[in-house]
Structure formats: structure tokens, C-alpha cells
Structure 1
Amino acid sequence: MGLTARIRTRDGWAVQHAVVTVTDMAGAQALRAEADAEGSVRDTTELAPGAYTVIVTAVGYAPAAASAIVTASGRAEVGTVTLARQGGTELPPPGPWTIDPAHSTVGAVAQHLGISSVRGRFTEFAGTIEIAADDIAHSRVQAAIRAASIDTGNGMRDTHLRSADFLDVERHPELVYRSTRVTAAGSDRWKVHGELAMHGVVRPVDLDLAYLGTGSDPWGGTRAAFRATAELRREDFAMNYNQIVQAGVAAIGTTLKVELEIQAVQGSALPQV
């Protein structure tokens, strides 16, 4: 007899010490219990058969309600109750996360001749994410990208991009991004405010970030996934090279759309696999 329930976040994390309150159809409290460290509730209080309302609360989360039917045996199995973070904002659990370059992509798209796009990516980069426990706005992102690792699928074009006309990798071997703060932009969307150092110039650059969730990997770790975009103007980073073709159309667009697909592993180091 009694009530059982599991309290989880949207991504399946246990919500420790959530409070479960059960009321009957008249609104009278019939049971009050606290979830354990695994987010589980196993209470043996005897309840009369019938319909009940289960209300789950936890610090930092929006309350959730569920229905429960107590059978003639006196047992009520609520199942899993999912809590959303207060205000609907979601990010992975607090602590350090390490970007996994093998399962991440740092790419950019430029317009070519005004009619099509050329895509490129950087193949060598590293970075860390720190999810703040006290105030999510204090979370931090830092990443370094090896400029010479640019790859657009064309050797001649890549050599030109590494030259002083563009990235000038001999004098500026790295692109470095450091965040300054994070603000919520939706239930699972964030604005990462920060600065990008590229080609010897530092400019403010904001990332539009979507948090895609977390999950286990085959090596015993936990991974979080993110997608982010930003738009850069080449002139802001002193990359002014261009050619004008017929009708005054620029060979290369003046803006770059940055596209990031990021997997990060929980902890301060990547697993050895």
C-alpha cells in the first residue's frame, strides 16, 4: 500500500528533495512526502480508495500537478512527474562541461557571387562550458579555434583564407571566444553575450543558443547538446578583401553566418575512448 512516484527534470535528472502533496477531491491534504536523493517517493501511508490530486514542488522549479487513483489495495502509482525550471528556462546541471571536438562542428557560411553560398568549417578547436549553480546568468563559455584549420573543401581557396587577406594565420593563429554573461530568451533558448578575438581585433559577438538536452554516452559519460548561430561582418575584423564582378556584385559577401553544433561532456576533461 502507499504512494510511489519519480520526480525528474525534462532531461531525466532526479530532482532531489522535491515535496509531494496529495489531496483528496474535497481539497483536504491526505499525504505529504519528500523525494529522496534519487528523486523517488515511496510512502506507506494508507489512503482510502478513490481519486486524488498530486502536487509536486521543488526549489527552483515550477510546480506540477498529476492525478492518482488509489485502488482497493491502497496503492497509488503516480509514475514520473516532470518538473520544469522556474520560468521555463532549461540548461544542463551545474558544473564544468568540456566541448568534444570529435562530435562538434564549428562552421560558417558566406555568400558567393550573390547567388549561392560557400560553407566552411574549422577542424581544430577546444572549449569549456561552466553552468553556474547560483545564477544561470553567471554561466561561462570559452573556446579557442586554430585559424589554420579552416576547411572549405577547396585547397586553393583555403590557402587564400589563411593568408593576410583574411585570417592571416601566421600573425593570428587563434580565434578566441569568451562569454561575459548569459540571458534567457525562451524555454530552452539563450543569448550568450561575449567577445570574439579574430585577426587581431576584439569585437562583441552574441550567440543565439538552443539547448537540445542531455543523454548518456557509450563510455559512461553524460553529454549535453547545443546549437548556436551568430552573424559577423568581415569589416568589423579588418578583413576587407573582395573582388567586384559584373554589375557591381561582390564576389564574397560581407557577412558570415556562424553555425555551431556542440556536444559537451560533463566534467573538466574528455574521456579516453
Structure 2
Amino acid sequence: MDSTGAGAGTAGVRAQVRTRDGWAVQHAVLTVTDMTGTQVLRATADEDGALRTTQPLPAGPYTVIVTAVGYAPAASSAIVTASGRMDVGTVVLARQGGAELPPPGPWTIDPMHSTVAAVAQHLGISSVRGRFAEFSGRIDIAEDLAQSRVEAVIAAASIDTGNGMRDGHLRNEDFLDIEAYPHITYRSTGLSPAGPDRWTVHGELSLRGVSRPVDLDLSYLGTGPDPWGGTRAAFRATTELHREDFKMNYNQVVAAGIAAIGTTLKVELDVQAVQGDALPMG
């Protein structure tokens, strides 16, 4: 944290609190103490991470501490001149527990510790949850995060809803048509920020011979070591698909016009990716 005293302008403290990837840290708290450890000022950042006070400070040296829930505190010394103003500048807070952005380079999706699931409405009163047991993928984190890429391939025949008869129907030509289209693929085309630790992944989903643009709402959950000597990053992503967009128009109508299976599918992805081009043994 770089702190300097300004010789002119409005008295008080000026600061901007950000994460390492540039997002505002809302409601961060800045505390100023003198050399005896006595608190002389306490202020809270606004929704944009900006902090401004008008109270002039006596000239002299101070300690500045910035804290926020979920972040490691940052501290530095500062000098206030006769102007009574302290320009703290941009304070960068690191997330608690090391949940910084994953390092650039290739990351391999680990299917043993990841889940690809879909939820459909059944009879308008309950949900049917299924998952795909076989899939693979790769994430390439770029130095410029917006240039990062992801691609994944799912074995359509690996659908599992816990009911063999239903799974057989989902595999036939009414739904996934696995004989003609054995793979489901997703390839990203771009990435845009949506908030702290959140992004929108823009991409194209190919399902049942039809390719459509599909956006994923992505949350980054953190990075850490694994028991096999590797480094893992965790993500969660969701989206909604409409069956008719992929020519899955089958629907049985039961009593009172209620459709047996809803037309909208909610897709939920819980992904662990291992740093590097290959998965570790174990």
C-alpha cells in the first residue's frame, strides 16, 4: 500500500480498495492510528470501494490498516503534512485463504472430482436430476483473463438419472439420440467479468447435431494443493437450456394438460481442474 501526504486540496483521507484482479471491495474499513497506537480515524468504503473523509489530520506519521470480511488485512505507514490530507491511493487486498485467480497456463478437468448435472421439471411438481458420468475437458488461463478458453466433451450415453428405463429413453432418438450423436461438446468463445470472482463464459454448445450459443454463469471458488502434489482450481457454473433449441421436442402430456417433462433444463457444473496438461496418478 503506497501512502503519501499531499500538499494541497481537501483535507481528510482518500483511498480506493480493490482486489488483485481489480474489483472494488465494498464496505472495507480503514483505521488510522498515531504512533502511540491511539485510533484517530475510522471510515468505511462505499459500494465502489472508494473511501473519502473530510476530517483534517494533524501533521505527522500514522499507521493505516484496511480490513474487510473474507480478506487479509493490509497495513502501512503514512505521513500527513500541514495540509491535513492523506492520499492512501489504491489499497489491494488479498482474499483470505489464498483464493486468488488461478495461475496462467493449461488446466485439466478432473472428472473424478467434478460433476456435470442437469435438472428437469417432472409433472410440474417435482424435479428429476441426472448427471453425465463420462466427460473430459481443458481450461487455458491466459495472462489477459478475458482471453482464457475452455472446452469439454461429454459422452452422451453416460447419462444417469437413477432409473434404467428412463435413462434408456433419454438415450434414444426422442432425446439425446446417442447412436447418431455420441458426444456433447462445449467450446468457449469469450469471457466477461460479472462481479468479484464471477464471470460469464460465452460459448457454443453442440448437442444432438445442433450448435447454439450458450452462456455459463461462472463462480471461481479458489485454488489450493492436492494430496498428489498438484495444484487444483475449483469452479461452479450454471446455465439453462431449452430442449426445443436442440430439436428435443418429445413431450408426453398427462392429465389436465400437464407436461410429463419440462421444456427447460437447468445445468449445474461443479468442476475441479488440475494445473498442467495431464491428471496426476491417484
Q: Verify the 8 A CA contact 2:240 2:265 in the aligned structure 1.
A: yes
Q: In 2, distance between residues paired with 1:67 and 1:248?
A: 68
Aligned match of 2:276 = 267
Aligned match of 1:66 = 75
Match status 1:147 vs 2:156: yes
Computed over aligned residues only, the root mean square deviation of the Cα atoms, in angstroms, reads 2.5
- Where 2:279 maps in the other structure, the secondary structure is coil
Q: In 2, distance between residues paired with 1:242 and 1:91?
A: 43
Q: In 2, distance between residues paired with 1:99 and 1:65?
A: 34
Aligned match of 1:233 = 242
Match status 1:211 vs 2:220: yes
Q: In 2, distance between residues paired with 1:180 and 1:82?
A: 30
Q: Give a deviation string over 1:141-165, Cα, whole Å, max 9, x none.
A: 1000000000000000000000000
Q: Verify the 8 A CA contact 1:90 1:187 in the aligned structure 2.
A: no
Question: What's the CA shift for 1:93?
Answer: 1.3
Match 2:187 to one of 170, 178, 183: 178
Aligned match of 1:102 = 112
Question: What's the CA shift for 1:104?
Answer: 0.2
- Where 1:117 maps in the other structure, the secondary structure is strand
Closer, same or farther: CA 244–112 of 1 in aligned 2, 3 Å? same
Match status 1:119 vs 2:129: yes
Q: Give a deviation string over 1:165-193, Cα, whole Å, max 9, x none.
A: 00000000000000000000001000000
Question: What's the CA shift for 1:67?
Answer: 4.3
Q: In 2, distance between residues paired with 1:132 and 1:83?
A: 22
Match status 1:191 vs 2:239: no
Closer, same or farther: CA 184–90 of 1 in aligned 2, 3 Å? farther
Q: In 1, distance between residues paired with 2:104 and 2:180?
A: 37
Runs of 4+ in 1 over 3 A off after TM superposition: 50-55, 81-85
Q: Verify the 8 A CA contact 1:90 1:211 in the aligned structure 2.
A: no
Q: What residue identity is the alignment partner of 2:139?
A: I
- Where 2:195 maps in the other structure, the secondary structure is coil
Q: What residue identity is the alignment partner of 2:172?
A: S
Aligned match of 2:176 = 167
Paired residues for 1:10-25 under 5 Å: none
Q: What residue identity is the alignment partner of 2:213?
A: P
Closer, same or farther: CA 90–236 of 1 in aligned 2, 3 Å? farther
Question: What's the CA shift for 1:272?
Answer: 1.3
Could you tell me the TM-score, scaled by structure 2's length?
0.68
Q: Give a deviation string over 1:28-50, Cα, whole Å, max 9, x none.
A: xxxxxxxxxxxxxxxxxxxxxx8
Aligned length: 205
Q: Verify the 8 A CA contact 1:111 1:253 in the aligned structure 2.
A: yes
Q: Verify the 8 A CA contact 1:53 1:67 in the aligned structure 2.
A: yes
Identity of aligned residues (%): 74
Give structure 2 stretches of 5+ with no counterpart.
1-18, 21-33, 36-60, 67-72, 78-90
Q: In 2, distance between residues paired with 1:130 and 1:82?
A: 26
Q: What residue identity is the alignment partner of 2:271?
A: I
Q: What residue identity is the alignment partner of 1:142?
A: E
Give structure 1 stretches of 5+ with no counterpart.
1-8, 11-23, 26-49, 56-63, 69-80
Aligned match of 1:3 = none
Aligned match of 1:131 = 141
